[in-house]
Amino acid sequence: MTMRPLLIALPAALVLSGCATLEKPGEPALSPPQAQARTGAVSAADPRAQAAGEAILAKGGNATDAAIAVMLALTVVEPQSSGIGGGGFLVHGSADGTVVTFDGRETAPAAAGPNWFLGKEGDPLSYREVVTTGLSVGVPGNIALAAKAHAANGSLAWEELFQPAIVLARDGFLANRRLHQSLEGQIDRAGVTEFGRSLYYTADGAPVAAGTRIVNPALAETLERIAALGPDHFYKGQYADKLAATVAAATPGGIGMTRDDVTSYEAPMRNAVCGSYRDYRICGMGPPSSGGIAVIQILGQLERFDLAALGADNPVTWHLFVESQRLAYADRELYAADADFVSVPVRGLVARDYLAERSALISPDTALDDVAAGRPRGVVTVASDGDEPPENGTSHFAVVDAEGAMVSYTSTIEGPFGSGLTYGGFFLNNELTDFSFSPMRDGVPVANRVEGGKRPRSSMAPMVVYDPQGEPVLAIGAAGGSTIPVQTARSIIGIIDFGLDIEDALGLPFIMAFGDRLLLEESSWLADRKAAFAALGHDDIATASPPLKAGGVYRTQTGWVAARDPRLDGLLETQE
């Protein structure tokens, strides 16, 4: 669906401090679509966060200002997915083609080392054993990222960016079906703390119903302070002491996050990783994310195939797509990690000759038996990371402003409700579970092993795209753990190869290989063509409905359009 801009028109509400009340839900009013083209466009997974970004654009803010306002608003209205207790990556693409990235990925405490996730016998602990402990929590990066990006490119005053989120936290917002569903069966995560239990569950432990007004004065106060005092309120002084103490108290053995870990956090600006696809220039986040590299590889390896001629309804098209993804993910598992700690051959991985060599492995007639990582230039020997813990937190949003600057920002607390630990009205991430739990494989150190101060490997892929004339045309990304680069590359192919509108490109059926298993989206036409994929040599085929959550802004002939994955629509309603 194409999102139309939403005026911030919070329904009059019965406001009860710090608690949730059920009331008749109302939706913000829609304004005409042309309004978007004048001031820019905002895509976000939640309409209230989209409205926050639009309000900032309407005040004369630019894409960076609006994206920060969206990130802050999502902390309030989408507590299951992202927020200031987590981190993210922001890719800024100027109208003149300059692209820079901001790395707000969480860092492991200095006390963390390769054995962080090993039990007494030296075996890796399970995800379940660690996720709701301080072991999983990295130093949150989103506020530092916002401050760095704002200093570099923002135009409105810092405190202005916080106002929509403060209003949502103080006056409350209505839980939608998505939040309700996320809370179901998650009381041992979202309800780890008394704060989480009392805000998101009823006294008898049931998740708040859709349509319930949720008021979060603790978060409103935190946001007000950071708005007034700047990022130092979060990273320095007493607030930092308490944040570290909260995490350390939940860490087995008590040796966890310290004040120094928090005060020394930085969100660096990093070079973007760029490639091309059919004369479009595609740029994204480099390490510690694997996402930008994977998207560029998937596309680059497909360039020699005429996908437009094959067509979007042809199983061969999607077979080729999957084969390209398998090759890209083999590289991802072996090489991708925090390049401040291990050598990542970024340039070699996206070099055109390397991608051509890898592409030559792909056959339109049959699936590869074995998929192994390649040997790009610049390789240093590391071992593969086979662990892939379940993930489904995260939110992607994208903004373009009146000057044509694009911001693509993916924000995460990792899994649903992060670690479940709360502080200052928000959930703290469990991002450290994105590290490999095993530090060694076959006697060789794993690239993505835990190390003090290191950032865990990510799949997040906020991307910006320039058309063959060098003009900004698309800012896109997704949530959904390891499915992110696949959702993103699929949508880019939909636009570039099949000439689809962004809403149709985001709505293309999902297909992905998880190891040797090919997963086809349930209830899509792909699922009805299992036999065709089997004939192409895919032996292990399953159907499922993974949580899909891509979104972006796209320049059409009549102006910029914002869209989110149409599969989200039903879940955004506030009615029961």
* Residue 408 marked in a binding site: no
Structure tokens at 141: 């990066």
Structure tokens at 230: 């700047």
- Should residue 425 be labelled a site residue for ligand GLU when binding is judged by CB under 6 A? no
* Residue 105 marked in a binding site: yes
* Residue 539 marked in a binding site: no
Shortest CB 483 distance to ligand GLU, Å: 8
- Should residue 181 be labelled a site residue for ligand GLU when binding is judged by CB under 6 A? no
Shortest CB 394 distance to ligand GLU, Å: 3
| Closer residue to ligand GLU in complex, CB, 65/521 | 521
* Residue 259 marked in a binding site: no
**Nearest C-alpha neighbor of 429 from the set 182, 194, 111, 135:** 135
| Closer residue to ligand GLU in complex, CB, 148/457 | 457
| Interface map 475-504 toward ligand GLU (x if CB under 6 A) | ----xxx--x--------------------
| DSSP class per residue in 183-201 | HTT-HHHHTSSHHHHHHHB
| Closer residue to ligand GLU in complex, CB, 453/537 | 453
d(Cα 436, Cα 419) in Å, to the nearest integer? 17
| Closer residue to ligand GLU in complex, CB, 394/408 | 394
**Nearest C-alpha neighbor of 41 from the set 551, 499, 447, 500:** 551
Structure tokens at 491: 């949508």
| Interface map 377-406 toward ligand GLU (x if CB under 6 A) | --------------xxxx------------
When binding is defined by CB under 6 A, the residue of 103, 333, 385, 414 that contacts ligand GLU is 414
**Nearest C-alpha neighbor of 295 from the set 329, 244, 340, 258:** 329
Active site (catalytic) residues: 394
| Closer residue to ligand GLU in complex, CB, 87/256 | 87
**Distance (Å) of CA 532 to CA 315, 487, 538:** 7, 22, 9
Number of Cβ atoms within 10 Å of the Cβ of 95: 15
Shortest CB 455 distance to ligand GLU, Å: 10
When binding is defined by CB under 6 A, the residue of 216, 359, 384, 412 that contacts ligand GLU is 412
| Closer residue to ligand GLU in complex, CB, 5/481 | 481
**Degrees, nearest 5: CA angle 290-410-484:** 50
C-beta separation of 226 from 219 below 8 A: no
Residues with Cβ within 8 Å of 343's Cβ and at least 6 positions away in sequence, in order, are 378, 380
Phi, psi of 185 (to 5 degrees): 70, 10
Shortest CB 411 distance to ligand GLU, Å: 10
Shortest CB 100 distance to ligand GLU, Å: 20
- Should residue 106 be labelled a site residue for ligand GLU when binding is judged by CB under 6 A? no
| Closer residue to ligand GLU in complex, CB, 163/487 | 487
Partners of 398 in the β-ladder: 43, 408
Sign of the alpha-carbon torsion through 42, 47, 53, 57? positive
Shortest CB 74 distance to ligand GLU, Å: 13
- Should residue 434 be labelled a site residue for ligand GLU when binding is judged by CB under 6 A? yes
* Residue 459 marked in a binding site: yes
Number of Cβ atoms within 10 Å of the Cβ of 205: 9
Phi, psi of 110 (to 5 degrees): -60, -30
Query: Binding to ligand GLU (CB under 6 A): which residues in 439-478?
Result: 458-460
Partners of 281 in the β-ladder: 276, 466
Sign of the alpha-carbon torsion through 152, 155, 160, 162? negative
Binding residue ranges for L-glutamate: 105, 434, 458-459, 481
Binding residue ranges: 105, 434, 458-459, 481
Where do contacts with ligand GLU occur on this chain (CB under 6 A)?
391-394, 412, 414, 431, 434, 458-460, 479-481, 484
